A and B are shown apart, each in its own frame.
Chain A
Amino acid sequence: MRPATREKLHSLPVDDTIVAVRGVDKSYGSTEALRGIELDFPRGRLTSLLGPSGCGKTTLLKIVAGLLDADKGTVMVDGKAVSGPGPERAFVFQDFALLPWATVLRNVAFGLELRGVPRGERDETARRYVAEVGLSGFEQKYPHELSGGMRQRVGLARALCVDADVLLLDEPFSAVDEQNRRKFQEDLIRLRNTQNKTFIFVTHSIEEAVYISDRIVLLSPRPGRVSQIIEPAIDRSGDPERIRRDRHYLDTVEEIWQGLKQYVD
């Protein structure tokens, strides 16, 4: 088994970068959340932003999403500077952000509804993605009738439905119970293989990051900066259950933990 290839700060440019973060600073009042962030996100891969709370990972994701403005620096998506949300990016929210008064189908189709896609067409697309995330038969249910895990599947289907190139996931499993989270992580690996999309994934779980990511960006707190980039060389083609027993997986988790330990208060 090949050891993890580790890159230093300011990683070398990747051939095919879809999202590029250049010199991003962000402060909330006197609190410095992010300082001098330089990052490249390779196309078609799943990159995790990992770090302890207060490292600015969600802030960085929201800046990439165009939901927050950076104080300094730019975010480029496909070579174009970001000035707000765009059709090439879709967001999955930590608290699901589903419309409680709308059915699963309408929630999934909501992005298309806002874009003015006709009812029949958007429902058809939404049905496909409802099936894709394993919720067939629940189209006419309301969010309060679903479990936490199922609600987040709706959130994911909604993001997939608008056919964005980049999916931004903000701690999507933190409000989901452990069993559902594992199942969901396995599904995410499968989706990554079939959907041909770029995933940027914020998490505070080391295991989760190592399990699903092609690339892990470690952020250190106060102020948030990139401390390390790790590419776990784990073969994810086979049985997803096997990965959790993979020696390399366990070693990488341990290594990251040793690196992060100093920031835990």
Chain B
Amino acid sequence: MNSVRSSEGEALLIGGASQGQAAGLLASPALLRLLSIVLFAAIWEVAGRVPVSFAFPTFSDTAVAFFGLVADGSLPKAYVSTLQPLVLGVVLSALLGVGIGTLCGLSRAGEWLLVPVFIVLQAAPVAAFIPLVTFVYGIGLTAKTLAVMILALPVIVLNTYKAVRNVNGSLLLMCRSFLGTRRQEITRIVLPDASPVIFAGLRLGVAAGFVGVVLAELLITPTGIGDLITFHRSRADYAEMYATIASIIALSTLTLVALQWLETRVFRPEKRGR
């Protein structure tokens, strides 16, 4: 029904006077986003040509290097190895984090026992724990997954906890007055009401997870993306190094956008198109 309405709107816009067209194009958010990316690439290109530093490649060199890395298979291979601890760590952090956070928000005991631990973890420079993790769990998948989790988990737990704790009391009362059970209260009031803040935590957690996996690959064992960055730096292939870094930034951004899409689509439909 929504799509029908918007396509009608577009038809009207196209049929409208041409003087309004330029303003209409500028107002389109997709186009503005594209424009900002193009502008960024242009500035990068200029800065690379000046050059800012001999170690700073132009945008075009980086783009060429990127396709070279994809073509020779080294980038896809690196991602296969990086994505394993990343996806595992992020998914586990999301499930555990929302679960623990909800528990802490709902029960006093959970709050007293667990919240201080995560506050300390969030405040600590957790990268310092990574050598410790290596010491205990070696250099395999477990250690890297743990590195992702110690970075991602605290912010997810704490956001979920705060959101659940500050749930709208009037909605809870309403649910009780209409004979909702405790379980219904949690699934139909607490979680949907808390979902915007939970998702804000998930976005921060996922971003931290990317930091964790790259750190682990730079500090624990040179594999995947971390290895590719180190390798090209050591050979002074700066274009390749930048292409690798840019690719992981792009992936992280796309993941966050997808998460936002999921949130409005599944949990808060009223925010769609606002």
Contacts and interface: CB of A to CB of B under 8 A. Distances in A.
B179 A114 contact: yes
Residue of B181, B188, B270 contacting most chain A CB atoms (<10 Å):
B270
Interface string A106-131: 00001101110000000000000000
Contacts of A113: 188
A99 B171 contact: yes
A101 B178 contact: no
B178 A85 contact: yes
A101 B184 contact: no
Contacts of A67: 173, 176-177
A3 interface: no
Contacts of A93: 170, 173-174
B179 to A, nearest CB: 6
A143 B270 CA distance: 9
Interface residues of A, number: 27
B269 A101 contact: yes
Interface in B20-76: none
A114 B179 CA distance: 7
A18 interface: no
Nearest to B272: A142
Interface residues of B, number: 22
Nearest to B178: A111
B179 A99 contact: no
Contact of A144 (B1, B174, B184, B270): B270
Contact of B170 (A65, A95, A142): A95
A81 interface: no
Interface string A131-147: 00000000010111000
Contacts of A85: 176-179
Q: Does more than half of chain A's interface fall in helix, strand or loop, or is it mixed?
A: loop
A87 B178 CA distance: 7
Contacts of B181: 114
A111 B180 CA distance: 8
B177 A90 contact: yes
A162 interface: yes
A66 B178 CA distance: 11
Contacts of A95: 170
Contacts of B268: 101
Contacts of A140: 1
A100 B270 contact: yes
Residue of A89, A110, A140, A162 contacting most chain B CB atoms (<10 Å):
A110
B192 A101 contact: yes
A101 B177 contact: no
Interface string B146-171: 00000000000000000000000011
B177 A91 contact: yes
Name the 5 nearest CB pairs between A and B, nearest first: A97-B174, A142-B270, A111-B178, A91-B177, A114-B180
Interface of B: 1, 170-171, 173-181, 184, 188-189, 192-193, 195, 267-270
26 contacts: A65-B177, A67-B177, A85-B176, A85-B177, A85-B178, A86-B179, A87-B179, A90-B178, A91-B177, A93-B170, A93-B173, A97-B174, A99-B188, A100-B270, A101-B269, A110-B178, A111-B178, A113-B188, A114-B179, A114-B180, A114-B181, A114-B188, A140-B1, A142-B269, A158-B178, A162-B178
